[in-house]
Structure 1
Amino acid sequence: MKKIIISLFVLSFFISCNQTEKKEVSKIENPTNKVVLSSEIIWEKLNPARGDKSPQAGTIWGDRKGKVATGFLAKFVDGFSSPPHIHNVTYRAVVIEGLIHNDDPAAANMWMPKGSFWTQPKGESHITSAKGNVNIAYVEIDHGPYLVKPIDQAFDNGERPVNISANNVVWLNHTKTNWIDSKSNAEISFLWEGKNTNKTKGLFIKLPKQFDGKIKTDGTILHAVIIKGKLNYTLPLNQEIKTLDPGSYFTSTTKAEHQVTNNNKEDVTIYIRTNGNIYVE
Structure 2
Amino acid sequence: MNMKKVIIAMGLAFGVSIAASAADKKPVHEGPSVSVPAGDIKFVDTGVKSDGKELKAGPAYGNLANGRHGTFVRAPAGFKSAPHTHTEDYYAVVLKGVGANYQAGGKAVPLPVGSYWFQRGEESHVTECISDTDCLFFLVQPGKFDYVLSK
1:78 CA displacement: 1.1
Deviation at 1:72? 0.6
Q: Distance in 2 between matches of 1:86 and 1:129?
A: 14
In the TM superposition, residue 50 of structure 1 has moved relative to its aligned partner by 3.2
After TM superposition, what 4+ stretches of structure 1 lie above 6 angstroms from structure 2? none
Matched to 2:39, the amino acid is: S
Runs of 5+ consecutive residues of structure 1 not aligned to the other structure: 1-31, 153-281
| Paired residues of 2:89 and 2:121 also in contact (CA < 8 A) | yes
The yes-or-no answer on 1:53 pairing with 2:53 is: yes
* Number of the residue aligned with 2:143: 143
In terms of Rg, which structure is larger? Answer: 2
Deviations 1:51-101 (A, max 9, x none): 84221111111111112x100111111111111011111110000011011
SS at match of 1:94: strand
Matching residue of 2:89: 90
Q: Could you say which structure has the greater relative contact order, defined with CA pairs below 8 angstroms and 6 or more residues apart? A: 2
TM-superposed CA distance for 1:149, in Å, is: 0.5
Q: Give the equivalent residue in structure 1 for 2:42.
A: 42
Q: Is the 8 A contact 2:70 2:138 kept in 1?
A: yes
Alignment of 1:20-35 (within 5 A): 32-35=32-35
Distance in 1, matches of 2:132 and 2:89, equals 26
For the 8 Å contact 2:48–2:147, the answer to whether it is kept is no
Displacement after TM superposition at 1:37 (Å): 1.2
Q: Going by fraction, where is helix more abundant, 1 or 2?
A: 2
- Tell me the SS of whatever aligns to 2:49: helix
Q: TM-score, normalised by structure 2?
A: 0.73
CA distance in structure 2 between the partners assigned to 1:116 and 1:49 by the alignment: 23
Measured in 2, the distance between the counterparts of 1:116 and 1:84 equals 21
Q: Which amino acid aligns with 2:64?
A: R
How far apart are the structure 1 equivalents of 2:119 and 2:54?
A: 19
- Secondary structure of 1:39's counterpart equals helix
Could you tell me the percent identity over the aligned residues? 24
How much is the aligned-residue C-alpha RMSD, in angstroms?
A: 1.6
Q: What is the distance in 2 between the residues matched to 1:105 and 1:34?
A: 38
TM alignment of 1:125-274, pairs within 5 A: 125-130=124-129, 131-144=131-144, 146-152=145-151
